[in-house]
Amino acid sequence: MTPYFIRRFLLIIPTFIGITLAVFVVMHFVPGGTVERQIMQYKQALAEGGGGRAELTEVGLPEGAMEEMRRYYGFDKPLHIRYAQWLWNVLKFDLGRSYIYQDPVWDVIKSRFPISLFLGLTGFFLSYLVCVPLGVYKAIKHGSRFDFLSSFIVFLGYSVPGWALGTALLVLFGGGSFWNVFPLGGFRPDNWEYLGFFEKIGAQLHYMFLPVLCYMMGSFATLTILMKNSLMENLGQDYVRTAFAKGLSERRVIFVHALRNSLIPIATGLGHVISLILAGSFLIEKVFNIDGMGYLGYTSILQRDYPVALGILVISSLLMLVGNILSDMIYVVVDPRIRFK
Protein backbone atom coordinates (compact mmCIF):
# COMPACT_ATOMS: atom_id res chain seq x y z
CA MET A 1 0.00 0.00 0.00
CA THR A 2 1.43 3.36 -1.06
CA PRO A 3 1.88 6.24 1.41
CA TYR A 4 -0.96 8.05 -0.37
CA PHE A 5 -3.53 5.43 0.56
CA ILE A 6 -2.14 5.20 4.08
CA ARG A 7 -2.70 8.94 4.45
CA ARG A 8 -6.21 8.59 3.04
CA PHE A 9 -7.05 5.85 5.52
CA LEU A 10 -5.62 7.89 8.38
CA LEU A 11 -7.69 10.88 7.22
CA ILE A 12 -10.83 8.86 7.96
CA ILE A 13 -10.07 8.95 11.69
CA PRO A 14 -10.30 12.75 12.33
CA THR A 15 -13.18 13.07 9.87
CA PHE A 16 -15.12 10.31 11.57
CA ILE A 17 -14.38 11.78 15.01
CA GLY A 18 -15.69 15.17 13.85
CA ILE A 19 -18.90 13.61 12.52
CA THR A 20 -19.51 11.57 15.65
CA LEU A 21 -18.79 14.59 17.84
CA ALA A 22 -21.47 16.60 16.04
CA VAL A 23 -23.91 13.69 16.38
CA PHE A 24 -23.05 13.36 20.10
CA VAL A 25 -23.81 17.03 20.72
CA VAL A 26 -27.14 16.82 18.91
CA MET A 27 -28.23 13.66 20.70
CA HIS A 28 -27.39 14.90 24.19
CA PHE A 29 -28.21 18.60 24.15
CA VAL A 30 -31.14 19.27 21.81
CA PRO A 31 -34.68 19.37 23.21
CA GLY A 32 -36.20 15.92 23.31
CA GLY A 33 -32.85 14.25 23.92
CA THR A 34 -32.15 11.08 25.84
CA VAL A 35 -32.73 12.19 29.42
CA GLU A 36 -35.71 14.42 28.63
CA ARG A 37 -37.40 11.62 26.69
CA GLN A 38 -36.91 9.15 29.56
CA ILE A 39 -38.32 11.64 32.07
CA MET A 40 -41.41 12.18 29.92
CA GLN A 41 -41.93 8.44 29.59
CA TYR A 42 -41.57 8.04 33.34
CA LYS A 43 -44.14 10.76 33.98
CA GLN A 44 -46.44 9.15 31.45
CA ALA A 45 -46.24 5.84 33.30
CA LEU A 46 -46.99 7.52 36.63
CA ALA A 47 -49.96 9.36 35.15
CA GLU A 48 -51.48 6.24 33.62
CA GLY A 49 -50.83 4.13 36.71
CA GLY A 50 -52.54 6.60 38.98
CA GLY A 51 -56.04 5.58 37.90
CA GLY A 52 -56.85 8.15 35.29
CA ARG A 53 -54.88 10.29 32.91
CA ALA A 54 -53.36 13.14 34.84
CA GLU A 55 -51.54 16.01 33.27
CA LEU A 56 -47.85 15.29 32.89
CA THR A 57 -46.90 18.64 34.34
CA GLU A 58 -48.74 17.80 37.56
CA VAL A 59 -46.81 14.58 38.15
CA GLY A 60 -43.55 14.97 40.01
CA LEU A 61 -40.56 12.69 40.03
CA PRO A 62 -39.64 10.73 43.16
CA GLU A 63 -36.70 12.04 45.11
CA GLY A 64 -33.44 10.90 43.58
CA ALA A 65 -35.03 9.75 40.29
CA MET A 66 -33.39 12.55 38.31
CA GLU A 67 -29.96 11.76 39.77
CA GLU A 68 -30.44 8.06 39.04
CA MET A 69 -31.25 8.79 35.40
CA ARG A 70 -28.27 11.06 35.07
CA ARG A 71 -25.97 8.38 36.48
CA TYR A 72 -27.51 5.75 34.19
CA TYR A 73 -26.89 7.83 31.08
CA GLY A 74 -23.49 9.08 32.25
CA PHE A 75 -24.48 12.73 32.67
CA ASP A 76 -22.71 12.81 36.03
CA LYS A 77 -19.35 12.38 34.25
CA PRO A 78 -17.24 14.97 32.43
CA LEU A 79 -18.19 15.71 28.84
CA HIS A 80 -15.07 14.16 27.28
CA ILE A 81 -15.55 10.93 29.24
CA ARG A 82 -19.15 10.69 28.07
CA TYR A 83 -18.11 11.25 24.46
CA ALA A 84 -15.34 8.65 24.68
CA GLN A 85 -17.77 6.07 26.07
CA TRP A 86 -20.38 6.87 23.44
CA LEU A 87 -17.76 6.68 20.64
CA TRP A 88 -16.60 3.28 21.90
CA ASN A 89 -20.20 2.07 21.78
CA VAL A 90 -20.54 3.37 18.21
CA LEU A 91 -17.43 1.45 17.15
CA LYS A 92 -19.12 -1.66 18.55
CA PHE A 93 -22.25 -0.82 16.48
CA ASP A 94 -24.11 0.10 19.65
CA LEU A 95 -25.97 3.24 18.54
CA GLY A 96 -28.46 3.25 21.40
CA ARG A 97 -32.14 2.37 21.34
CA SER A 98 -34.83 3.79 19.13
CA TYR A 99 -37.39 6.01 20.86
CA ILE A 100 -40.17 4.77 18.57
CA TYR A 101 -39.39 1.09 17.98
CA GLN A 102 -37.80 0.46 21.41
CA ASP A 103 -35.20 -1.75 19.69
CA PRO A 104 -31.45 -1.27 19.23
CA VAL A 105 -30.80 1.27 16.50
CA TRP A 106 -28.47 -1.08 14.62
CA ASP A 107 -31.19 -3.75 14.44
CA VAL A 108 -33.72 -1.20 13.17
CA ILE A 109 -31.35 0.05 10.46
CA LYS A 110 -30.07 -3.40 9.52
CA SER A 111 -33.56 -4.67 8.75
CA ARG A 112 -33.89 -2.01 6.01
CA PHE A 113 -30.54 -2.74 4.33
CA PRO A 114 -31.74 -5.34 1.78
CA ILE A 115 -34.50 -3.13 0.36
CA SER A 116 -32.40 -0.01 -0.18
CA LEU A 117 -29.42 -2.04 -1.37
CA PHE A 118 -31.56 -3.87 -3.94
CA LEU A 119 -33.12 -0.69 -5.33
CA GLY A 120 -29.86 1.26 -5.20
CA LEU A 121 -27.77 -1.34 -7.01
CA THR A 122 -30.47 -1.92 -9.61
CA GLY A 123 -30.77 1.79 -10.40
CA PHE A 124 -26.99 2.18 -10.41
CA PHE A 125 -26.22 -0.59 -12.89
CA LEU A 126 -29.16 0.25 -15.14
CA SER A 127 -27.94 3.85 -15.28
CA TYR A 128 -24.51 2.73 -16.45
CA LEU A 129 -25.92 0.20 -18.93
CA VAL A 130 -28.06 2.89 -20.57
CA CYS A 131 -25.97 6.04 -20.18
CA VAL A 132 -22.60 4.72 -21.38
CA PRO A 133 -23.85 3.47 -24.79
CA LEU A 134 -26.06 6.55 -25.15
CA GLY A 135 -23.13 8.86 -24.41
CA VAL A 136 -20.93 7.03 -26.90
CA TYR A 137 -23.55 7.26 -29.62
CA LYS A 138 -24.14 10.96 -28.89
CA ALA A 139 -20.39 11.61 -29.24
CA ILE A 140 -20.29 9.79 -32.57
CA LYS A 141 -23.39 11.65 -33.81
CA HIS A 142 -22.39 15.00 -32.31
CA GLY A 143 -24.36 17.87 -33.83
CA SER A 144 -26.93 15.59 -35.43
CA ARG A 145 -30.69 15.65 -34.90
CA PHE A 146 -30.41 12.62 -32.62
CA ASP A 147 -27.85 14.41 -30.44
CA PHE A 148 -30.09 17.48 -30.11
CA LEU A 149 -33.30 15.56 -29.35
CA SER A 150 -31.64 13.18 -26.88
CA SER A 151 -29.99 16.10 -25.05
CA PHE A 152 -33.36 17.83 -24.79
CA ILE A 153 -34.99 14.72 -23.31
CA VAL A 154 -32.07 14.01 -20.96
CA PHE A 155 -31.97 17.52 -19.50
CA LEU A 156 -35.75 17.69 -19.32
CA GLY A 157 -35.73 14.56 -17.17
CA TYR A 158 -32.82 15.89 -15.11
CA SER A 159 -34.69 19.11 -14.33
CA VAL A 160 -37.51 17.18 -12.62
CA PRO A 161 -36.72 15.93 -9.08
CA GLY A 162 -37.06 12.20 -8.57
CA TRP A 163 -39.80 12.50 -5.97
CA ALA A 164 -41.81 14.88 -8.18
CA LEU A 165 -41.46 12.50 -11.11
CA GLY A 166 -42.61 9.65 -8.87
CA THR A 167 -45.71 11.57 -7.85
CA ALA A 168 -46.56 12.32 -11.48
CA LEU A 169 -46.02 8.70 -12.52
CA LEU A 170 -48.27 7.45 -9.73
CA VAL A 171 -51.00 9.87 -10.79
CA LEU A 172 -50.74 8.75 -14.41
CA PHE A 173 -50.04 5.04 -14.06
CA GLY A 174 -50.84 4.15 -10.44
CA GLY A 175 -53.83 2.19 -9.17
CA GLY A 176 -57.11 4.03 -9.62
CA SER A 177 -55.83 6.24 -12.45
CA PHE A 178 -56.91 6.17 -16.08
CA TRP A 179 -53.95 3.91 -16.93
CA ASN A 180 -54.02 1.47 -14.03
CA VAL A 181 -50.71 -0.20 -14.84
CA PHE A 182 -48.56 -0.10 -11.69
CA PRO A 183 -49.34 -0.38 -7.95
CA LEU A 184 -49.59 2.75 -5.83
CA GLY A 185 -46.61 1.80 -3.71
CA GLY A 186 -44.83 -0.81 -1.68
CA PHE A 187 -41.84 -2.99 -2.35
CA ARG A 188 -43.59 -6.33 -2.86
CA PRO A 189 -47.21 -7.59 -3.01
CA ASP A 190 -48.91 -8.78 0.17
CA ASN A 191 -49.18 -12.37 -1.10
CA TRP A 192 -45.45 -12.61 -1.82
CA GLU A 193 -44.98 -15.82 0.22
CA TYR A 194 -47.62 -17.66 -1.81
CA LEU A 195 -46.21 -16.83 -5.26
CA GLY A 196 -44.15 -19.16 -7.39
CA PHE A 197 -40.61 -18.45 -8.53
CA PHE A 198 -41.47 -16.84 -11.88
CA GLU A 199 -44.49 -15.09 -10.36
CA LYS A 200 -42.18 -13.50 -7.78
CA ILE A 201 -39.89 -12.25 -10.53
CA GLY A 202 -42.80 -10.70 -12.42
CA ALA A 203 -44.28 -9.16 -9.27
CA GLN A 204 -40.92 -7.72 -8.19
CA LEU A 205 -40.35 -6.15 -11.61
CA HIS A 206 -43.87 -4.77 -11.53
CA TYR A 207 -43.40 -3.08 -8.15
CA MET A 208 -39.86 -1.79 -8.67
CA PHE A 209 -40.22 -0.32 -12.18
CA LEU A 210 -41.37 3.18 -11.21
CA PRO A 211 -39.11 3.59 -8.13
CA VAL A 212 -36.01 2.47 -10.04
CA LEU A 213 -36.89 4.84 -12.88
CA CYS A 214 -36.97 7.72 -10.39
CA TYR A 215 -33.68 6.55 -8.86
CA MET A 216 -32.04 6.63 -12.29
CA MET A 217 -33.15 10.14 -13.28
CA GLY A 218 -30.83 11.85 -10.80
CA SER A 219 -27.65 10.51 -12.46
CA PHE A 220 -28.96 9.92 -15.97
CA ALA A 221 -28.02 13.27 -17.48
CA THR A 222 -24.73 13.51 -15.59
CA LEU A 223 -23.43 10.12 -16.74
CA THR A 224 -24.61 10.57 -20.33
CA ILE A 225 -23.05 14.00 -20.85
CA LEU A 226 -19.89 12.99 -18.96
CA MET A 227 -19.48 9.96 -21.23
CA LYS A 228 -20.09 12.03 -24.35
CA ASN A 229 -17.68 14.83 -23.41
CA SER A 230 -14.97 12.41 -22.29
CA LEU A 231 -15.10 10.46 -25.55
CA MET A 232 -15.13 13.62 -27.67
CA GLU A 233 -12.08 14.90 -25.79
CA ASN A 234 -10.18 11.68 -26.45
CA LEU A 235 -11.20 11.63 -30.11
CA GLY A 236 -9.31 14.90 -30.51
CA GLN A 237 -6.06 13.57 -29.01
CA ASP A 238 -2.89 12.88 -31.02
CA TYR A 239 -2.95 9.13 -30.45
CA VAL A 240 -6.39 8.91 -32.11
CA ARG A 241 -5.18 10.85 -35.17
CA THR A 242 -2.14 8.57 -35.29
CA ALA A 243 -4.39 5.49 -35.20
CA PHE A 244 -6.43 6.85 -38.10
CA ALA A 245 -3.21 7.66 -40.01
CA LYS A 246 -2.13 4.02 -39.63
CA GLY A 247 -5.25 2.95 -41.48
CA LEU A 248 -7.24 1.52 -38.54
CA SER A 249 -10.99 1.42 -38.95
CA GLU A 250 -13.18 4.00 -37.25
CA ARG A 251 -14.88 1.31 -35.18
CA ARG A 252 -11.57 -0.03 -33.87
CA VAL A 253 -10.18 3.41 -33.09
CA ILE A 254 -13.30 4.46 -31.17
CA PHE A 255 -14.18 1.27 -29.31
CA VAL A 256 -10.67 -0.10 -28.66
CA HIS A 257 -8.46 2.95 -28.20
CA ALA A 258 -10.54 6.03 -27.38
CA LEU A 259 -13.34 4.39 -25.40
CA ARG A 260 -11.03 2.78 -22.84
CA ASN A 261 -9.50 6.11 -21.82
CA SER A 262 -12.93 7.76 -21.90
CA LEU A 263 -14.27 5.31 -19.33
CA ILE A 264 -11.80 6.46 -16.65
CA PRO A 265 -13.99 9.26 -15.18
CA ILE A 266 -17.01 6.94 -15.41
CA ALA A 267 -15.31 3.96 -13.75
CA THR A 268 -14.10 5.96 -10.76
CA GLY A 269 -17.72 6.45 -9.73
CA LEU A 270 -17.96 2.72 -9.07
CA GLY A 271 -16.21 3.32 -5.76
CA HIS A 272 -19.38 4.84 -4.40
CA VAL A 273 -21.31 1.60 -4.85
CA ILE A 274 -20.58 0.89 -1.19
CA SER A 275 -22.68 3.89 -0.19
CA LEU A 276 -25.67 2.68 -2.22
CA ILE A 277 -27.08 1.11 0.93
CA LEU A 278 -28.44 4.62 1.44
CA ALA A 279 -28.91 5.40 -2.24
CA GLY A 280 -31.74 7.40 -3.67
CA SER A 281 -33.83 9.91 -1.79
CA PHE A 282 -35.80 9.95 1.43
CA LEU A 283 -38.67 11.44 -0.53
CA ILE A 284 -38.63 8.82 -3.29
CA GLU A 285 -39.12 6.00 -0.79
CA LYS A 286 -41.75 8.12 0.95
CA VAL A 287 -43.67 8.67 -2.30
CA PHE A 288 -43.69 4.97 -3.13
CA ASN A 289 -44.16 3.87 0.50
CA ILE A 290 -41.07 1.66 0.42
CA ASP A 291 -39.87 0.74 3.90
CA GLY A 292 -36.16 1.16 3.19
CA MET A 293 -33.37 3.26 4.65
CA GLY A 294 -34.64 6.48 3.12
CA TYR A 295 -38.16 6.08 4.46
CA LEU A 296 -36.76 5.12 7.87
CA GLY A 297 -34.67 8.30 7.95
CA TYR A 298 -37.65 10.39 6.85
CA THR A 299 -39.95 9.05 9.57
CA SER A 300 -37.20 9.26 12.19
CA ILE A 301 -36.72 12.97 11.51
CA LEU A 302 -40.45 13.70 11.66
CA GLN A 303 -40.90 11.67 14.86
CA ARG A 304 -37.74 13.10 16.44
CA ASP A 305 -36.27 9.64 16.81
CA TYR A 306 -32.77 11.06 17.18
CA PRO A 307 -30.83 7.81 17.72
CA VAL A 308 -32.09 6.31 14.44
CA ALA A 309 -31.73 9.49 12.35
CA LEU A 310 -28.24 10.22 13.61
CA GLY A 311 -27.25 6.57 13.42
CA ILE A 312 -28.07 6.67 9.70
CA LEU A 313 -25.95 9.83 9.41
CA VAL A 314 -22.93 8.18 11.07
CA ILE A 315 -23.16 5.04 8.91
CA SER A 316 -23.67 6.95 5.64
CA SER A 317 -20.74 9.28 6.40
CA LEU A 318 -18.41 6.37 7.10
CA LEU A 319 -19.49 4.57 3.92
CA MET A 320 -18.90 7.71 1.88
CA LEU A 321 -15.37 8.07 3.25
CA VAL A 322 -14.55 4.46 2.43
CA GLY A 323 -16.14 4.87 -1.01
CA ASN A 324 -13.84 7.79 -1.82
CA ILE A 325 -10.77 5.65 -1.12
CA LEU A 326 -12.20 2.81 -3.19
CA SER A 327 -12.70 5.25 -6.08
CA ASP A 328 -9.01 6.15 -5.99
CA MET A 329 -8.09 2.46 -6.07
CA ILE A 330 -10.32 1.87 -9.08
CA TYR A 331 -8.74 4.89 -10.78
CA VAL A 332 -5.31 3.26 -10.48
CA VAL A 333 -6.61 -0.09 -11.78
CA VAL A 334 -8.30 1.45 -14.82
CA ASP A 335 -5.40 3.72 -15.75
CA PRO A 336 -1.99 2.11 -14.97
CA ARG A 337 -0.28 5.41 -15.75
CA ILE A 338 -1.61 6.90 -12.53
CA ARG A 339 0.71 6.60 -9.54
CA PHE A 340 -0.18 7.99 -6.12
CA LYS A 341 2.76 8.88 -3.91
CATH of the domain at 177: 1.10.3720.10
Looking at every residue in the chain, the average pLDDT score rounds to 77
Same domain, 223 and 259: yes
Residue 217 lies in a domain: yes
Reported confidence tier of residue 210, pLDDT bands at 50, 70, 90? confident
**Residue bearing the bigger pLDDT, 4 or 154:** 154
Same domain, 233 and 269: yes
Same domain, 125 and 248: yes
Reported confidence tier of residue 59, pLDDT bands at 50, 70, 90? very low
**Domain stops at, among 30, 64, 99:** 99
pLDDT of 315 > 50? The answer is yes
Same domain, 157 and 223: yes
pLDDT of 98 > 50? The answer is yes
The CA–CA distances, whole Å, from 339 to 5, 126, 234, 331, 336 equal 11, 31, 21, 10, 8
Same domain, 174 and 238: yes
Same domain, 135 and 90: no
Same domain, 204 and 136: yes
Same domain, 165 and 87: no
Residue 340 lies in a domain: no
Closest by CA position to 8, among listed 322, 299, 254, 317: 322
- Answer for the pair 290, 85: CB distance below 8 angstroms, yes or no: no
Same domain, 120 and 199: yes
Residues in CB range of 258: below 8 A, 6 or more apart? 231, 234, 235, 237, 240
Lowest mean pLDDT among 39-43, 200-204, 230-234, 290-294: 39-43
Helix (H, G, I), strand (E, B) or coil at 104: strand
User: Which pLDDT belongs to residue 52?
Assistant: 46
Same domain, 130 and 238: yes
Reported confidence tier of residue 56, pLDDT bands at 50, 70, 90? very low
Residue 322 lies in a domain: no
User: Which pLDDT belongs to residue 54?
Assistant: 42
Tally of structural domains, the chain: 2
Reported confidence tier of residue 226, pLDDT bands at 50, 70, 90? confident
| Angle value at C-alpha 103, between 99 and 109, nearest 5 degrees | 95
User: Which pLDDT belongs to residue 154?
Assistant: 84
- pTM greater than the 0.85 cutoff: no
- What are 97's strand-pairing partners? 104
Same domain, 129 and 252: yes
Question: 52 is in which domain, residue-wise?
Answer: 3-99
pLDDT of 62 > 70? The answer is no
